[in-house]
Amino acid sequence: MRGSKKTPKRKIAPDPKFGSVKIAKFINYIMRRGKKSTAQRVVYTTFRLISDKTKDDPLEIFEKAVKNISPTLEVKGRRIGGANYQIPIVVSGERRLILAYRWLIQSAKGKKGKTMAQRLAEEIMAAAKGEGNAIKKREDTHRMAEANRAFAHFA
C-alpha cells in the first residue's frame, strides 16, 4: 500500500550560540538557498538589536512573541456532499510553532526599507507586546475558525 510508511523525523542540532533547538529551527526557516551562515547572522543580529533596545533577555522576548503568535485553532477545507466547508480544527504543538515562525517571517518580509534583522527585531518586539502583523494574522485565523464553528461536527 502506497504512503503507509511514515517518514522518520530528523533531529535538529541546537544552534551554536544559544544552544536552543527552537532557535535552530527558526534559523532553518529564515535560510534561503542553503545559506545557513547568512541566516544565522540575521537571527543573531536580530537578537542583539532586541537586547540593545529592550535591555532584556532576547530569548525570553522571542519565546513570549512565539507564544503570543501561536494559534490554537485553524480552519481546514473539506469537501462533503459536493460542497466545500471550512472546518475549524485544533492545531497540534508542532504545527503551532511552524505557523508562528512562518507568520513572523512573512510579516517581517512584508515591511520595506530596513535590513531583515531590523524588521525581524521590530516584529518580534511587537509580537511580544501583543501587536503587529503576525498577531493580526493569528487573530484573523481564530476569527475564521469561530465564524465556521457550526461546521465543527464534520471534523
Q: What is the DSSP string of the chain?
A: -TT-SPPPPPPPPPPTTT--HHHHHHHHHH--TT-HHHHHHHHHHHHHHHHHHH-S-HHHHHHHHHHHH--SEEEEEEEETTEEEEEEEEPPHHHHHHHHHHHHHHHHHH--SS-HHHHHHHHHHHHHHT-SHHHHHHHHHHHHHHHTGGGGGG-
Classify 21-154 by CATH class.
Answer: mainly alpha
Region 113-136: mean pLDDT is 94
| pLDDT per position as a tens digit, 61-112 | 999 999 999 999 999 988 988 888 888 999 998 999 999 999 999 999 999 9
For the chain, the structural domain boundaries read: 21-154
